[in-house]
Structures are given as C-alpha cells and as structure tokens.
C-alpha cells in the first residue's frame, strides 16, 4: 500500500451540468449563483470534488462543448467573480474543483476559427481546411466535413457542424492549450476532465476510410501523436500538481493503460471508458439492443482486473451524455429499489466514483412527443436517419430511449413549481414526475435513494477494503445477478445485485457463510437468508462484510 496516495483515490466526484443544476437569478437557466446556493447539498452527499461540465462562453450549439472564449464564463452562467466565489467556497467545504477541458475542437464562433477562414491568416493552420473533404463520418451522425462558403473550403468537425476540430499537430495550438490550462490552474482549480482526449491526434494525411461505418475512427482514435501531446500537457499540470481524468472514445483497458499505468510514463490519472455503457446498445444508445447483464459484468470485470495494481479506475454509471440509468439498466417501476441496486453495483468497485446530478435522487428519462422538443443535435441527426427507415412513432420511441437530453432536464429540487429549479419556466422541460422525485423529499425520507447513496459513500470511506481490496467476480455467467467481492487481509466484502424483476436465487460463493457476515446495506426492509444464499426479490441488492 503506497504511503502517500494522491487525493483523487479517496475522492467522490459530483458532476454538475450547469445549465440544468440550479437557476439562481430567475431566468430559467441554471447558473453559478444557483450552484453557490446548493454547495452544501453536494457536500452532504459525501462529495469531495465537483466536475463542472463547460462553464465557458459558448454559443451553446453543443451546450458548452463548443467554446468561443476559454477564459470567460458564459454570461448566462455568471462571470469570473462568482466563479471565484464558488471555487473558494468549494475549497472551504473540502471539495476540489475540476474544469472540463475541451480541446479537440472549438466553437465555429471562436475568434481563431473566424480568422482562419482567411487563407492568409496565421490562424488558418489552427484547423483542418481542405479543398476536398475525405469520407469520414461525424460521431453525431452525418459527415465530418462541411463546406464554408466564406472560406471557399471544407473544414473538419468530428462532432457538430459548429465544432470545428483543432489541428493539434500545430505547435501554436498546443501552446494556446497550455496557456488556457495555466489560466485556470493559476486561479486555483484542481484539475481537468479532458473531453474526447484520445481523438486529438489525427493521422496527418487524413486518409479516406473504406469501412462501412464510423468512418475515420481508426485514423483519430488513439492517434499517432497522442502520447506526445498528452505528455506536453502533463508537464503543465505537474507544475501545479493538478489532476486529470480523460474521456476515451472506443477505449479498451489496454489502450487506457498506455496512458494511465502508474509510473514514470503516466500521462493522465484516469480515463473514462464507455464499455459498461454499452450493455444495451452498440457504440451509442441510438443503436439499441436488449440489455445484457453478461455484457455489463464483463466490462466492469475487465477494467477491474486489468487495471488492478497498475492504474486507477474512473467509476460512473451516468453523465450528461447518456439517458438515465434507472430507465436503462434498472426499472422505472422499481425506481428506488433498482436505483439502490445500481448504486451498489458500482460504488464498491475499485476506483473513484463519479455521481451525476440527479442520479442520487433517481431521476428517470423524460419522454417528449415531438422531435422539436429535443434540444440535442445528435437526437435530430439520428432521428433523420431513422425516418428514412421507419414511421415517425417508431423513430420517436427510439429517440426517447436514446437521447442524452433525458440527463439534461432540470434538477428536481422540490415539489414546488418548476421543481424548485427556477422561479420561471425553465429552458428545458421538467420531468413530470418531479412531485414524487425530488431532493427535498428524498432528504426527508430515511429509506430514500439519496440516503442510500450517502450511506454507501460513507461506507466506502470507512472500509479500506473498498479502496485497496482485490476484486473477485462470482458467477459471471449468471444472466440475472451480478455478484462481486473485494478482499483485503482479513476483510471480505460481498456485493449482490439482482438486475431483474423476477425472483432468482443467489447462491453464496464457496467459503462465504452468509449468516456469519454483517449486512451493511440492502434495499428491502428485511433480509431473510440461509447460510447458503437467499431468494432475490425484484432488483434486490445486499452488501455483506465478513471479518
């Protein structure tokens, strides 16, 4: 056990998507004034850090992931003054602050891009301008190239049209990034979440890709100069002892280890993978298939095993890019019960857990009737492709199931108008279930999901086995139950999670006599058992400790 562990290994990180967290100035849009008022709530959950999705000035074509000024706060979210106040208050409450660093692309309204339309501009080489596009696809549907009439050329965008990719091969671009990092680190932020970071280096010749789908990916995912560029940015962070978690597209453990294995060559502290978010879909929720617990377990277990002793996991089951997890892997009918089970299924793994706003109170997917009500561009692009193949109703059902907009409805604070999010009509629809599903109600109910999260987080910090214990999976072919253990010296933890509404029997693994263990958590009022196992009720979870 290393003597001095980095702080992030004991952290619980709460993610705030600012537009929908809390509206402090009554214009219907979440902002930093609202965040400031709710910091105690975040801390009371047990969070020791906050990751802010982008707060920067942005035309909001991709809700802040299209940045037009990296050194300014979006006026609808506040200004640098209130940001500094939030930062300071977080630190006084014992919470670090992590900013979203979006450097694969800028907004098309960023002054660099505007200037780069002119061939003679020094900014021309900041982006990918070509007379002829290649055949790559955008990750949000459609093509990755658009013609710009003013520039008389095509430019590349792996995401929306309004997000031109930066040419990271240009040393001037990398110097700009260094400057941006220093700006925020000098202000006192503690680190970064680095957006689609394994896409920042493209094969320089930008060759056509003759695969049938996701064209281009093999030329920019974990690209040729990725390590070199990450090393350059790490040098900046090291001067501040700052933290970094990267987001990795199509990332598998082996590629992750090349960046996060601890030791001299380490480039990032941890990486987000998408693998466990694909248990009911292929690559994105827009290509759905029935939920497979086997697939989910394999993803969790692969990452636990392959990183053990070598690198640190970033644990999450929700963020702003995925529909709500209860609606996917759990059950809206058993909302609270399945929400608790889902909490237990990842909170006792090895790594640093992230909790996304609203996850802790069990918010679920919204279902809007018309595509016009969905703000996200990706929803519209996929809807258009669906409509070529199917009737409107079927297409809408798929969008309702897949859209990340479900994670972006206003946070449900209480049962008053607009869910207590705002005094006026919010920028986006409030989930109609807010009278039953809200933070105030959950705080007052000892059996709520919120209080389950608080207990589970407190347990994580109390039990060394959660941080250091060896991971074991039991019954990996069981299609209904995920059971895993953690073992450290004399301490053994056993976590049992049923992913089904049917009854099924959980047989204790060899060497575990359940009646000799202490039950730490469960999601039913009682917990009948025998030494050999128990009959799981719908979405039942139990956590046992053996000492």
| Residues in 124-163 that interact with ligand GLC by CB under 6 A | 159
| Terminal-to-terminal C-alpha distance of the chain | 20
Instruction: Identify the residue whose tokens are 């089951």.
Output: 317
Binding mask 458-477 for ligand GLC (x = CB under 6 A): --------------------
Query: Of ligand GLC, Ca ion, none, which one does residue 14 interact with (CB within 5 to 8 Å by kind)?
Result: none
Kindly state whether residue 108 participates in binding ligand GLC, applying the rule CB under 6 A.
no
Instruction: Name the catalytic one among 66, 137, 247, 278.
Output: 247
Give, in order, the Cα–Cα distances in Å from 300 to each of 339, 376, 522. Answer: 18, 29, 21
Query: Of ligand GLC, Ca ion, none, which one does residue 318 interact with (CB within 5 to 8 Å by kind)?
Result: none
Binding mask 209-248 for ligand GLC (x = CB under 6 A): --------------------------------------x-
61 versus 520: smaller Cβ distance to ligand GLC: 61
Q: How far is the CB of 354 from ligand GLC (least distance, A)?
A: 12
Residues 511, 481 contacting (CB under 8 angstroms): no
Instruction: Identify the residue whose tokens are 């801390």.
Output: 43
Q: How far is the CB of 15 from Ca ion (least distance, A)?
A: 19
Neighbours of 290 (CB within 10 A): 7
Beta bridge pairs of residue 504: 536
Which are the contacts of 181, defined by CB distance < 8 A and separation ≥ 6?
101, 192, 233, 236, 237
Burial of 359 (0-12, 13-18, 19+ CB in 10 A): buried
| Residues in 304-333 that interact with ligand GLC by CB under 6 A | 320-321
Strands (E), 225-376: 243-247, 270-272, 281-282, 284-288, 314-315, 352-356
Query: Of ligand GLC, Ca ion, none, which one does residue 321 interact with (CB within 5 to 8 Å by kind)?
Result: ligand GLC
Kindly state whether residue 65 participates in binding ligand GLC, applying the rule CB under 6 A.
yes
Which are the contacts of 2, defined by CB distance < 8 A and separation ≥ 6?
none
For residues 157 and 137, what is the distance between their CA atoms, to the nearest angstrom?
Answer: 9
Look at residue 154 and give its three-state secondary structure.
strand
Query: Of ligand GLC, Ca ion, none, which one does residue 335 interact with (CB within 5 to 8 Å by kind)?
Result: none
For residues 507 and 514, what is the distance between their CA atoms, to the nearest angstrom?
Answer: 10
Binds Ca ion by CB under 5 A, chosen from 6, 7, 9, 27: 27
CA atoms within 13 A on the CB side of 312: 25
Binds ligand GLC by CB under 6 A, chosen from 31, 76, 195, 360: 195
Rounded to 5 degrees, φ, ψ at 156 are -95, 140
Query: Of Ca ion, ligand GLC, none, which one does residue 23 interact with (CB within 5 to 8 Å by kind)?
Result: Ca ion
Residues 307, 507 contacting (CB under 8 angstroms): no
Query: Of ligand GLC, Ca ion, none, which one does residue 31 interact with (CB within 5 to 8 Å by kind)?
Result: Ca ion
Please indicate whether residue 247 is annotated as part of the active site: yes
Instruction: Name the catalytic one among 76, 108, 194, 195.
Output: 195
For residues 382 and 291, what is the distance between their CA atoms, to the nearest angstrom?
Answer: 21
| Residues in 244-283 that interact with ligand GLC by CB under 6 A | 247
Binds ligand GLC by CB under 6 A, chosen from 13, 189, 196, 259: 196
Query: Of Ca ion, ligand GLC, none, which one does residue 194 interact with (CB within 5 to 8 Å by kind)?
Result: none
Taking phi first (over 0 means left), then psi (-120 to 50 degrees means alpha), and beta for anything else, what does residue 533 get? left
Binds Ca ion by CB under 5 A, chosen from 29, 153, 270, 336: 29
Please indicate whether residue 190 is annotated as part of the active site: no
190 versus 195: smaller Cβ distance to ligand GLC: 195
Binds Ca ion by CB under 5 A, chosen from 6, 9, 25, 414: 25
62 versus 280: smaller Cβ distance to ligand GLC: 62
Scanning 18-26, 164-172, 249-257, 498-506 for contacts with Ca ion by CB under 5 A, the matching segment is 18-26
Give, in order, the Cα–Cα distances in Å from 208 to each of 169, 212, 222, 249. Answer: 19, 12, 17, 20
25 versus 170: smaller Cβ distance to Ca ion: 25
Kindly state whether residue 434 participates in binding ligand GLC, applying the rule CB under 6 A.
no
Rounded to 5 degrees, φ, ψ at 207 are -70, 155
Scanning 15-23, 108-116, 434-442, 475-483 for contacts with Ca ion by CB under 5 A, the matching segment is 15-23
Query: Of Ca ion, ligand GLC, none, which one does residue 65 interact with (CB within 5 to 8 Å by kind)?
Result: ligand GLC
Tally helices (H) and strands (E) across the chain: 15, 22
Please give the size of the binding site for ligand GLC, defined by CB under 6 A: 9
For residues 333 and 507, what is the distance between their CA atoms, to the nearest angstrom?
Answer: 26
Q: What is the DSSP letter of 207?
A: -
Kindly state whether residue 62 participates in binding ligand GLC, applying the rule CB under 6 A.
yes
Look at residue 150 and give its three-state secondary structure.
coil
Binds Ca ion by CB under 5 A, chosen from 8, 16, 21, 23: 23
For residues 452 and 137, what is the distance between their CA atoms, to the nearest angstrom?
Answer: 43
Kindly state whether residue 356 participates in binding ligand GLC, applying the rule CB under 6 A.
no
Footprint on this chain of Ca ion (rule: CB under 5 A): 23, 25, 27, 29, 31
Active site amino acids: 195, 247
Footprint on this chain of ligand GLC (rule: CB under 6 A): 62, 65, 102, 159, 195-196, 247, 320-321
């Amino acid at each position: 056990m290393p003597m001095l562990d980095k702080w992030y290994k004991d952290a619980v990180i709460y993610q705030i998507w600012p537009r929908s967290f809390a509206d402090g100035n009554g214009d219907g849009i979440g902002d930093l004034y609202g965040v400031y008022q709710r910091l105690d709530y975040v801390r009371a959950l047990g969070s020791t850090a906050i990751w802010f999705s982008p707060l920067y000035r942005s035309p909001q074509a991709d809700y802040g992931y299209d940045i037009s000024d990296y050194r300014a706060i979006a006026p609808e979210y506040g200004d640098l003054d209130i940001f500094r106040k939030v930062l300071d208050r977080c630190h006084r409450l014992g919470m670090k602050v992590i900013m979203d660093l979006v450097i694969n692309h800028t907004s098309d309204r960023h002054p660099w891009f505007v200037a780069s339309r002119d061939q003679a501009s020094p900014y021309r080489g900041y982006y990918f301008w070509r007379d002829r596009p290649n055949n790559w696809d955008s990750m949000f549907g459609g093509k990755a190239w658009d013609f710009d009439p003013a520039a008389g050329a095509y430019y590349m965008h792996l995401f929306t049209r309004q997000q031109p990719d930066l040419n990271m091969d240009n040393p001037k671009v990398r110097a700009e990034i260094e400057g941006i990092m220093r700006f925020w680190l000098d202000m006192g932020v503690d680190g970064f979440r680095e957006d689609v970071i394994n896409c920042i280096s493209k094969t320089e010749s930008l060759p056509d890709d003759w695969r049938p789908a996701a064209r281009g990916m093999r030329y920019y995912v974990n690209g040729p100069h990725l390590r070199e560029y990450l090393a350059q940015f790490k040098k900046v962070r090291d001067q501040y002892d700052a933290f970094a978690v990267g987001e990795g597209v199509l990332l598998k453990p082996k590629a992750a280890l090349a960046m996060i294995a601890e030791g001299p060559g380490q480039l990032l502290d941890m990486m987000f993978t998408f693998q466990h978010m694909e248990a009911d879909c292929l690559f994105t929720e827009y290509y759905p298939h029935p939920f497979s617990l086997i697939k989910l377990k394999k993803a969790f277990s692969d990452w636990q095993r392959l990183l053990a002793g070598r690198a640190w996991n970033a644990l999450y089951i929700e963020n702003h890019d995925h529909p709500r997890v209860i609606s996917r892997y759990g059950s809206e009918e058993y909302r609270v019960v399945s929400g608790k089970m889902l909490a237990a299924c990842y909170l006792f793994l090895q790594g640093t857990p992230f909790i996304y706003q609203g996850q802790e109170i069990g918010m679920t997917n919204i279902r809007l009737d018309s595509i016009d009500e969905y703000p996200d561009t990706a929803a519209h692009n996929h809807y258009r492709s669906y409509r070529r193949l199917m009737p409107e109703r079927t297409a809408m059902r798929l969008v309702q199931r897949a859209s990340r907009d479900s994670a972006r409805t206003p946070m449900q604070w209480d049962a008053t108008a607009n869910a207590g999010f705002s005094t006026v009509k919010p920028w986006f629809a409030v989930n109609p279930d807010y009278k039953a599903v809200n933070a105030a109600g959950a705080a007052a109910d000892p059996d709520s999901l919120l209080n389950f999260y608080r207990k589970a987080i407190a347990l994580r910090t109390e039990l060394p086995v959660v941080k250091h214990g060896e991971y074991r999976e039991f019954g990996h072919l069981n299609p209904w139950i995920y059971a895993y253990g953690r073992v450290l010296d004399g301490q053994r933890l056993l976590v049992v999670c049923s992913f089904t509404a049917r009854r099924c029997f959980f047989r204790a693994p060899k060497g575990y006599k359940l009646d000799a263990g202490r039950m730490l958590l469960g999601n039913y009022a009682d917990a009948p058992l025998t030494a050999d196992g128990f009959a799981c009720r719908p979405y039942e979870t139990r956590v046992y400790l053996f000492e």
